[in-house]
Structure 1
Amino acid sequence: MSKQHTYRATVEWAGNLGSGTSSYTAYSRDYTVKITGKPELHGSSDPAFRGDKTRHNPEDMLLAAISACHKLWYLHLCGAASIIVTAYTDHAEAVMDEGDNALPGRFIKATLRPQVTITQAQHIEQAKALHHEAHRLCFIANSLNFEVACECEITVA
Structure 2
Amino acid sequence: MSLHRYALEVVWTGNRGEGTRGYRGYGREHEIRIDGKPAIAGSSDPAFLGDPARHNPEDLLVAALSSCHMLWYLHLAAVAGIVVTAYTDRAEGTMASDADGGRFTDVLLRPRVVIAAGDPALAAALHEEAHHACFIARSVNFPVCCEPEIVTESV
Q: TM-score range by the shorter chain?
A: over 0.9
- Unaligned runs of 5+ residues in structure 2 are none
- Unaligned runs of 5+ residues in structure 1 are none
**Separation in 2, partners of 1:96, 1:20:** 28
1:99–1:106 CA contact under 8 A, matched in 2: no
Counterpart in 1 of 2:42? 43
Q: What count of residue pairs does the alignment treat as equivalent?
A: 153
Counterpart in 1 of 2:89? 90
Spell out structure 1 runs of 4+ moving beyond 3 A: none
Q: For residues 26-71 of structure 1, what are the alpha-carbon distances to aligned partners after superposition, in whole Å with 9 as ceiling and x for unaligned?
A: 1000001110000011100011110001100000000000000000
**Separation in 1, partners of 2:42, 2:110:** 25
For 1:93-112, list aligned pairs within 5 A.
Answer: 93-100=92-99, 103-112=100-109
Counterpart amino acid of residue 126 in structure 1: L
Query: Is it true that 1:115 corresponds to 2:112 in the alignment?
Result: yes
SS in structure 1 opposite 2:119? helix
Counterpart in 2 of 1:156? 152
**Separation in 2, partners of 1:39, 1:128:** 34
Counterpart amino acid of residue 53 in structure 2: T
TM-score by length of 2: 0.96
For 1:45-84, list aligned pairs within 5 A.
Answer: 45-84=44-83
Counterpart in 1 of 2:133? 137
**Separation in 2, partners of 1:144, 1:104:** 17
Q: For residues 117-154 of structure 1, what are the alpha-carbon distances to aligned partners after superposition, in whole Å with 9 as ceiling and x for unaligned?
A: 0113x511101110000000000000000000000000
> Sequence identity, in percent?
53
**Separation in 2, partners of 1:19, 1:59:** 27
- Taking only aligned residues, the RMSD between alpha carbons, in angstroms, comes to 0.8
